[in-house]
Amino acid sequence: MTSSADGRSRKRLTPHAAKNRQGWDYFADWFESTFGKELARHGGMSWGSFHVPERRLRLFGDLRGKDVLELGCGAARWSLALSRAGARVVGLDVSPRRLQQARELVKRAGANLRLVEASAEAVPFPARSFDVIFCDIGAMSYADPYRTVPEAARLLRPGGQLTFCTESPIRMVHFRSQKSRVSSRPRRNYFTMHRIDLPRTVHFQLPYGEWVRLFRENGFEVERLIEMRAPLHPRSKFLTRQELRWARQWPFETIWSVRKKDGPPRRQRASGKSVSESALRLSP
């Protein structure tokens, strides 16, 4: 069931996507055994580390008959759930091992789901193929937004929706890359934040204002920005007490939901310029 546009897509991988591919092949089994059960809660439809159910946030409307793409689907629990809700779903991931896990779950569910091995930065589908593109701590955390946001704009039909849960910018300012832990003091410059290298993976994050600029430049309107806070009595297999306390005071994750406008995008400037440039421009 996995598409074999794979060979071609793999050749197009950026160096950071290739590193994330290797990294996620390495982490896949640990990730499944640690988080698989939690991710299956709420019928596989919950957002972020605190598993806030979709039925509470209602980010998706009626998906019956809609074309939906998940960027970084992992074992494809979300994709499976949305296909049960009546959508035609494509689950895309860069890691062959994670897609193997997805194939097993899809087979067990007897579902009709297309799985594609490719990077979210270069999706092997024609323009205007989808009504909804989404992920939950998926490829939008690991791929370069200067590539994925224009790619989503290309792939969505007018009026289409891009919705994703990713780490919050504030969390990434406090993120200790070597330990993969959130620290109580800031670790990097907010304004210049973009690529964050970990030993086995690469993350990406931008300042809030830069996200908004990038969305608008690519013809999106921001509809919702949800800032995820740890519940009062959180349970976590992975986060430390200090991190859980931190996540009561600061947004741990962010859900962006943006919609592609009907008209052509309003180009303000060439994409791919450095974040520090916009910080400079906005400085008093």
Residue numbers at the binding site for ligand SAM (CB under 6 A) = 17, 20, 24, 39, 71-75, 77, 92-95, 98, 119-121, 136-139, 142-143
CB of 135 to ligand SAM, least distance (A): 6
Indicate the SS3 state at residue 260: strand
CB of 231 to ligand SAM, least distance (A): 19
CA distance 167 to 233: 20
Q: What is the token pair recorded at 185?
A: 């003091």
Residue nearer to ligand SAM on the CB measure, 122 or 225: 122
Residue nearer to ligand SAM on the CB measure, 16 or 66: 16
Q: What is the token pair recorded at 59?
A: 């980010």
Residue nearer to ligand SAM on the CB measure, 136 or 243: 136
Residue nearer to ligand SAM on the CB measure, 165 or 275: 165
CB of 252 to ligand SAM, least distance (A): 14
CB of 140 to ligand SAM, least distance (A): 9
CB of 136 to ligand SAM, least distance (A): 4
- Whether the CB-CB separation of 115 and 73 falls below 8 Å is answered with yes
Residue nearer to ligand SAM on the CB measure, 72 or 145: 72
Residue nearer to ligand SAM on the CB measure, 47 or 220: 47
What is the biggest distance separating any 2 CA atoms in the chain, rounded to whole angstroms? 58
Q: What is the token pair recorded at 210?
A: 């830069």
Amino acid at residue number 88: R
CB of 277 to ligand SAM, least distance (A): 25
CA separation, residue 171 to residues 21, 134, 184, 212 (Å): 23, 21, 10, 18
Instruction: At 61, give phi and psi (nearest 5°).
Output: -90, -145
| Rg over CA atoms, the chain | 18
Instruction: At 234, give phi and psi (nearest 5°).
Output: -75, 150
- Beta bridge partners, 171, equal none
Which residue, chain included where needed, has tokens 């793409």?
Answer: 69
Return the sign of the alpha-carbon dihedral for residues 238, 242, 52, 163: negative
CB of 44 to ligand SAM, least distance (A): 8
Residue nearer to ligand SAM on the CB measure, 151 or 217: 151
- Whether the CB-CB separation of 57 and 255 falls below 8 Å is answered with yes
